[in-house]
Amino acid sequence: MNNDFSVVIRSGGEIASAVAWRLHRAGYPTVVLELPAPLVVRRRVAFAAAVFSGECEVEGVPGKLVASVREAREYIARRGGVPVLIDPDARSVRELSPTVLIDGRMAKRALDTRIGQAPIVIGLGPGFTAGVHADAVIETNSGPSLGRVIYEGSALPNTGIPCRIGGFQAERVLRAPRAGVFHTGRDIGDAVEQGEIVGYVDEAPVRAGVSGVLWGLLHPGIRVDEGTKLGDIDPRGDPAVVDRIAAKGRAVAAGTLAAIRELASRKHITLPNGASS
């Protein structure tokens, strides 16, 4: 990568992966930085899944877990996919020297991302202030402003309310009833009935709040805190949706791409040859 145009995204979760997918499709070489045990639920559309399985695919774009910056560069050159590097503190950013740094951790509070860490810095969702933490902030709150690019100010505060699907909101989300290790024999795409046991946190059962298909499910064996999101259910019951990037992710990705182009123009940064819309 060196002086070539490249993107680093902190997080391979659902929303960040939608952004990585869109930027990859637009021709922007992209590297994902992840935790050793990411709390990702929608693993079928998340590059973080590579942390557990070694490889993954998000709507036709391959991803692979790599052990170094050198391997990340080689994977992009050889396969043209999205490499995933375990680097929770983003220590590799200096060596990667990206043109664009995107914080997609969705922490909903300011962490360690600051403007100036790359020529273009973008934050996804609440917790960032444009001009302080990032050059631009992308609205992630569901509603009419979803995907809006903010160049001054912050995104809307987190509501804590899940998006409505099939008429259901909080009841379709699976949460840890206590702290412990999550175990399950179910898989994403499985049909479940309301009240059915989907898994356990230690010995405490986790029951489905509605009937439908498992839209997302945390990887088994991960230690969680009480209240941690373990999965969610799509009450519409169509198993095909589990492999599709959701409309929310696509909107945030479109806003991120628009922000990169606008900021590159303002800062006189050359975009990659052959980059598309």
* Section 196-219 average pLDDT: 97
Query: Do residues 85 and 47 both lie within one domain?
Result: yes
pLDDT tens-digit readout, 7-53 = 999 999 999 999 999 999 999 999 999 999 999 999 999 999 999 99
**What percent of the chain has pLDDT above 90?**
84
Query: Do residues 26 and 62 both lie within one domain?
Result: yes
Count structural domains, the chain. 2
Has residue 2 been placed in a domain?
no
Query: Do residues 17 and 118 both lie within one domain?
Result: yes
pLDDT tens-digit readout, 88-120 = 999 999 999 999 999 999 988 878 999 999 999
pLDDT at 273: 66
* Section 188-202 average pLDDT: 97
Name beta bridge partners: 216: 232
pLDDT tens-digit readout, 115-147 = 999 999 999 999 999 999 999 999 999 889 999
Has residue 255 been placed in a domain?
yes
Residues of the domain holding 191 = 170-235
Query: Do residues 136 and 226 both lie within one domain?
Result: no
Query: Do residues 25 and 114 both lie within one domain?
Result: yes
Query: Do residues 263 and 148 both lie within one domain?
Result: yes
Has residue 214 been placed in a domain?
yes
Here the CATH number for the domain that contains residue 178 is: 2.40.50.100
Query: Do residues 27 and 137 both lie within one domain?
Result: yes
**What percent of the chain has pLDDT above 70?**
97
Query: Do residues 92 and 126 both lie within one domain?
Result: yes
Query: Do residues 45 and 106 both lie within one domain?
Result: yes
pLDDT at 34: 98
Here the CATH number for the domain that contains residue 122 is: 3.40.50
pTM metric for this prediction: 0.93
d(CA 178, CA 224): 8
Query: Do residues 183 and 46 both lie within one domain?
Result: no
Q: 48 near 38, Cβ under 8 Å?
A: yes
